[in-house]
Amino acid sequence: MTTSAQLRDVTLRDGLQLTGKLLDTDTKVELARVLLDSGVDALEIGAMARPDKVPPMANTLDVIEALTPEELQRCWVWTATPRGITRAIEAGARNVEYCLSVSDQHNYANVGRTTEQSMAALPEAVDFAAVAGARLQLSLATSFTCPYRGEVDPQRVVDLVRDSRAADIASVVLCDTLGQATPEQVRQLIKRVRDAAPQHEIVFHGHDTWGLGVANTIAAIQAGAAMVDGALGGLGGCPFAPGASGNTSTEDLLFALQPSWLTPPIFAGIVAAGGRLLEELGEPNRSRAAEGARSTVDAFPWVT
């Protein structure tokens, strides 16, 4: 499947947040540059999260400051408060995500407030980003299911996107935080959001807990998503979402989508970079494409 949808690699944020190990700034910057130079459209490079809550994100500001302005144009930083957005922008970030959960229970577990309290602070976040000329993305965690209450009503997602306080965001991220959605559910929700707020681009953020990460991502693109997320080796998960496994693998998405810039040698380089990272972290590699690339049957051009 060839596609015009952009791929965003979230290894340096969502991928690392459960590992418990803080990678040094140079290692993070090196990986970011490998991915950007390979042709990956965009990256998440960190989060403005409390270091005592999410230790692997402690040097996010250092990572931002180490990247060039040109590189930062393709990088995103996760935040949950207007203050986090201000700090990220002051360090040089040009693209920031303001995250809240559709489910009150998960939002409280994740950021210590209700969904409405997070929405109430959104206009301040929008103003900060506008003054700085930065892009602001509204990221909706638990758009499909919640670990504390089960299925989430799609209308609640639509209502948040249509809320007047979200009118000036650049795009909206629909997150299958637990990896429990099916392709049809993904298609239906994206259609509803597009119909309700056609001015917003849609990003799909999937997890592969139930083995449907790639299928859900393809369904999202077919339904109109402009960007999709993945992490090297299927790394990641939410510390406040019991039962969630890693993100949909970047390598699997690349092999399935085969964007115009991807060649077998570039793919081999990305697979190798993911392998080195996971080995350093002591984490398993969940990418099926990375496993396939290590085949000894070398007649297939994608075998590395």
Question: Cβ(144)–Cβ(180) under 8 Å?
Answer: yes
Residue 242 confidence (pLDDT):
62
Query: Is residue 104 within 8 Å of 143, Cβ to Cβ?
Result: no
Q: How many helices (H) and strands (E) does the chain have?
A: 12, 10
pLDDT of residue 3: 64
DSSP character string of 106-129: HHHHHHSS-HHHHHHHHHHHHHHH
**Bridging pattern class, strands 150-151 and 145-146:** antiparallel
Mean pLDDT in each 10-residue stretch from start to end of the chain (304 residues)? 83 91 95 98 96 93 98 98 97 98 94 95 96 97 95 98 96 96 98 96 96 97 97 84 80 96 97 96 94 89 91
- CA separation, residue 151 to residues 102, 174, 239 (Å): 11, 14, 19
Quickly list DSSP for 173-234.
Answer: EEEETTS---HHHHHHHHHHHHHH-TTSEEEEEEB-TTS-HHHHHHHHHHHT-SEEEEBGGG
| Exposed/middle/buried for residue 206 (C-beta within 10 Å: 0-12, 13-18, 19+) | buried
Identify the architecture of domain 6-294 in CATH: Alpha-Beta Barrel (3.20)
Residue 53 pLDDT: 86
User: How far apart are alpha carbons 211 and 208 in whole angstroms?
Assistant: 5
Distances (CA, A) of 166 to 35, 171, 172: 31, 10, 9
E-assigned strands of 38-159? 42-47, 75-79, 95-101, 135-141, 145-146, 150-151
pLDDT for 244: 65
